[in-house]
Structure 1
């Protein structure tokens, strides 16, 4: 990452931030953006009825605010902000807004994910892009280097196969990863311009399984904490989302897309030509534990590769899984958390902020003002702990 040239940097930083303390409800009313109300509602996981009850209007009125047919009265805007836990400036038009819908994001568990959860996740992803955009005005992030990516920088003439296995082989070759284990997968993705974020456990998006979106100017992969207790599942989730970004321009929600992403991930992490010669004719758990450490994939995944390669019968696979279930609580089979592996933790956005902080004096407060967020929200998305002491009234 690099700081932008001085001329560009000066132009970008001369734009005034939003003075959240001086903008009045009347000014917000005049510049009210209906889509920001919808975004804030989705982020809060609230219905129109919930908001209506909180500000003393009808659900139909909230619907009219969101469609833009009417605007909330100036005196209602501070109440809206309080109910939705945002500054009043959040509702102002004019800021970059990465709008997503469900066709632009791949959810691992679409059928078991409620509409409210999906909307929360989409709102979270929109904010990740807005934060990325704000940082990219100051810091030159890695260029998007993903063949066929349609949301941002596309490499002409480079197109991967639609077959998931072949696409995985081609991407490994294009990224010059060789034929061995993929080291530091999350860092590899970030170095190719893919924004990777792991929400905190209290973040609303954390309640949804891993998901991704290629519908914005940068591809984004959200790796949720429910798989980060096991670095091997965490890595497979990252490769799965990479598969979606490579293979699926539009999210249909069909199970076939999930299967294809799994096939891509398995081949990307454990190429057949490299792994198959290493597997013994019979499933050997001691060998699989060693291969797990070397290749960064779970024993469960390695057993599945036996099936992919047709090396043993389905009955043998079934018995292997039963045996694995009885071993999972023993040393060697216990999961390692992803937090123990720095190369599997996203750092691009955090490092970009630190670089901008050091070289152009960017602060959390300034960034929050520009985004019209509360400062704590910026810290949350950057993964920066709030070190201020907590006042407790007893």
Structure 2
């Protein structure tokens, strides 16, 4: 998917009057949501009323040129961020599959959606220079898939069909996140420095020109939970045309994830007829799923009763932290970490001389923000001056 977007003359150093002339209200909303601030907090920071900030966001009035530098400073963005003329990733709650609408506040959801929009904007800019993998997600109307490709509405059947469509075979799915990226799905993690965003649960959206998934750092201490969460969000992408946030959609996404990661026909011959946690721990490492999920799978396929599964969960809890039963962090598994955007930047850097500063000027972001979303760490030593 190659697209062009208009260049913005003079981006990086324009005057407040020029920004006032081309002020884009949705950019203010995006910046405020990314900062996790209320209109009242922004108003206090720039010396106006909350009603005035609301008017700026609706476009019924514009902040005076002398206010714009303060506004940019309060929100932590370059003043050029408010300029019109750049593609903007706009999402609302109905376009993203949050694990539970009741478990996240409106502010948290808005911040997450604004972050997802930024990830898409970064992908869009990189795609002007580098051909990203074609979108191959059945049912996604913006993808480059065969028009006749459709998946069943039954979660388990859909999981089997997608495995077949992606030629994953019958065994364990290796490098799940890498598989998603290979098939054109943009995957991202909130920056470590963004503590509030890092606490948001994983979610996905088909509401942008590329399917996009934001994983969560609060599951990064356990690669198996991370993989199941990823497969759960993939289930939303292929099963649900819009998000209702109800328990039925969540159960369907869970059923999809279980079948996608451990297909019944493939895992059944390996499941112990008697609950053997040691054998389940070995299966866990082979199939990339947790022992807890395998216990549930045993109950689900009829090998174990509810009472047997309950006792197994209790025994498993007692083993937590023991060798073979300790969580393993995601950072030990490169195939479960997103790399597509960073690799695209590195290719553009090598082939076309693209720099972080050039990309940040084009996006009207701070360079550090570009590095954060790309997952590029600052390698220079930090000078510390002491008395």
Compute the TM-score of the two structures, normalised by the length of structure 2.
0.96
- CA shift, 1:256, in A, is 1.0
- Unaligned runs of at least 5 residues, structure 2: none
Quote the Cα distance in structure 1 between the aligned partners of 2:59 and 2:133: 38
SS in 2 for 1:109: coil
Quote the Cα distance in structure 1 between the aligned partners of 2:9 and 2:133: 26
Distance 1:18 1:315, change over 3 A: farther
Whether the 8 Å contact between 1:223 and 1:238 is mirrored in structure 2 is: yes
- CA shift, 1:152, in A, is 3.7
Q: Does 1:120 align with 2:111?
A: yes
Map Cα deviations across residues 145-181 of structure 1 (whole Å, 9 max, x no partner). Answer: 0000134434301110111011001000111111000
* 2:309 maps to which of 311, 317, 321: 317
Residues 36-47 of structure 1 aligned to structure 2 (within 5 Å): 36-47=27-38
SS in 2 for 1:212: strand
- CA shift, 1:18, in A, is 4.7
- CA shift, 1:199, in A, is 1.9
- CA shift, 1:323, in A, is 0.7
Question: Who is 1:236 aligned against?
Answer: 228
Whether the 8 Å contact between 1:196 and 1:221 is mirrored in structure 2 is: yes
- CA shift, 1:201, in A, is 2.5
Quote the Cα distance in structure 2 between the aligned partners of 1:169 and 1:367: 40
* 2:49 maps to which of 55, 58, 63: 58
Quote the Cα distance in structure 1 between the aligned partners of 2:262 and 2:5: 45
Quote the Cα distance in structure 2 between the aligned partners of 1:127 and 1:386: 20
Compute the TM-score of the two structures, normalised by the length of structure 1.
0.95
Quote the Cα distance in structure 1 between the aligned partners of 2:9 and 2:364: 9
- CA shift, 1:249, in A, is 1.5
Question: Who is 2:352 aligned against?
Answer: 360
Question: Who is 1:84 aligned against?
Answer: 75
Question: Who is 2:26 aligned against?
Answer: 35
SS in 1 for 2:67: helix
Question: Who is 2:101 aligned against?
Answer: 110
* 1:73 maps to which of 64, 74, 80: 64
* 1:165 maps to which of 156, 162, 167: 156
Quote the Cα distance in structure 2 between the aligned partners of 1:387 and 1:179: 42
Quote the Cα distance in structure 2 between the aligned partners of 1:362 and 1:13: 17
Which deviates the most, 39-48 or 335-344? 335-344
- CA shift, 1:208, in A, is 0.5
Residues 209-220 of structure 1 aligned to structure 2 (within 5 Å): 209-220=201-212
Quote the Cα distance in structure 1 between the aligned partners of 2:6 and 2:236: 38
Quote the Cα distance in structure 2 between the aligned partners of 1:390 and 1:75: 35
Residues 1-394 of structure 1 aligned to structure 2 (within 5 Å): 15=7, 18-21=10-13, 23-203=14-194, 204-392=196-384, 394=386
Quote the Cα distance in structure 2 between the aligned partners of 1:158 and 1:385: 40
Which deviates the most, 109-118 or 120-129? 109-118
- Unaligned runs of at least 5 residues, structure 1: none
Map Cα deviations across residues 236-268 of structure 1 (whole Å, 9 max, x no partner). Answer: 111111111111120111011111111000000
SS in 1 for 2:102: helix
Distance 1:88 1:144, change over 3 A: same
> Runs of 4 or more off by more than 4 Å in structure 1?
12-18, 391-394
Whether the 8 Å contact between 1:101 and 1:122 is mirrored in structure 2 is: yes
- CA shift, 1:17, in A, is 6.4
